[in-house]
Structure 1
């Protein structure tokens, strides 16, 4: 019996080539530098929004790890930059130009809440960064995951809101275009009945 042949995938967005999202990705600039630290378990997830996020920005990088490599520890402590962690810690300040003065580096953690907290736990340097949070975040469009915490957003949604808050003229919808297509494609694949029964 012949084994199933894996479907070819786009090397950039990592989607099956028949469902490649790259035509919807239009990278845009930002004065804010973004670092997305992704838990390794999340990198294998089909709905990987961190990859779409970093493809959609000229000034963003994706780091897949649990413990930060030494070179990234130096990046986080560069005295020429103001570095903030976008995470709803109890001491987090509302994100705005006062809590995030330029030149700014913004760090986001990508994973489930449990995995994100593990990233914080094993990296004391992340714990030491001043934390900021989104003030009155919108309802998530991530209709395929049930968040365990109120106001939770996917990584790409959180970044879009943060940059729209910090930088006048930033095109939030331009960044979210492939994300919307990804969600709609997954709902179409599972069928509306299944989606209604499990996610509505």
Structure 2
């Protein structure tokens, strides 16, 4: 996802077969293991599509209801919280909610205060609009800086610390504003559409990710190894912003997710890897301190 060109969409231009349910294939009653419709969908989605069972590859897999991974290699034992002064708001394409390979949700598993909003072109989420008007937050859109028409909005990572002009760091009452990274969660085509067709985002600073990191994501085919998935982008942003501890936890959690899912595809029961062991140790330390 990120050469900085695809640095915010989860993976490749087209998804794998098991990740490709369309609106008329959705089973809102959960009969086939597909998650029910997310909150905030337009009314016309309710009851207007055939309720035929989802038949794509992977639909018969028995999944954990909490982590959505096959129960053969459940991710739940490795879920660990981390602290960061930075918040993440994910604006997620509706179809991305149903893809079990989506990595955007890993951010919310790790970082408190993460919010997820479904994107609809003509019906923006009122809760998101309210947050964008909230003086306590300073949001940045994570998006490439390769087009001239918004070059005047582009900032670098130092802007979250108040370095540079045009980015207020304090509220009207003099309190430090909370930096927020807005990530557009979907394929690159979907993310570009969200960016271009959401006028409520037009005035916000654009923060591109520049990184030499190569993707470790194996569940969808990316156009390039430089294209990072959503969770990898988030971890790299945290690291560049000085949030090393949170970045390390999210990186380990992503690796655990990646390995658990890949092993499940070949019906292999995975032994704990080094990232998993680190997460288990963190979880044990956190439990013992409570």
TM-score band w.r.t. shorter chain: 0.7 to 0.9
Stretch of structure 1 that moved more, 161-170 or 146-155: 146-155
Judged with a 3 Å threshold, the aligned counterparts in structure 2 of structure 1 residues 12 and 126 are, in CA distance, closer, same or farther, namely: farther
Larger Rg: 2
CA distance in 2, matches of 1:39, 1:171: 25
1:119, distance to aligned residue in structure 2 (A) = 1.4
Q: How many residues align?
A: 189
1:66 has 2:120 as partner: yes
Structure 2: tracts of 5 or more residues without a match:
1-52, 170-176, 267-290
1:106 has 2:168 as partner: no
Structure 1: tracts of 5 or more residues without a match:
192-200
1:183, distance to aligned residue in structure 2 (A) = 2.2
Which structure has more strand as a fraction of its residues?
1
1:106, distance to aligned residue in structure 2 (A) = 1.2
Match of 1:85 in 2: 141
Q: Which has the higher contact order (CA 8 A, sep 6+)?
A: 2
Among residues 69, 79, 94, which one is paired with 1:25 in the alignment?
79
CA distance in 2, matches of 1:47, 1:108: 17
Match of 1:36 in 2: 90
CA distance in 2, matches of 1:80, 1:46: 33
Match of 2:5 in 1: none
CA RMSD, 1 decimal: 2.6
Mapping of residues 172-191 of structure 1, within 5 Å: 172-190=247-265
Q: Give the TM-score taking structure 1 as reference length.
A: 0.81
1:109, distance to aligned residue in structure 2 (A) = 0.8
1:27, distance to aligned residue in structure 2 (A) = 0.9
Q: Is the 8 A contact 1:13 1:52 kept in 2?
A: no
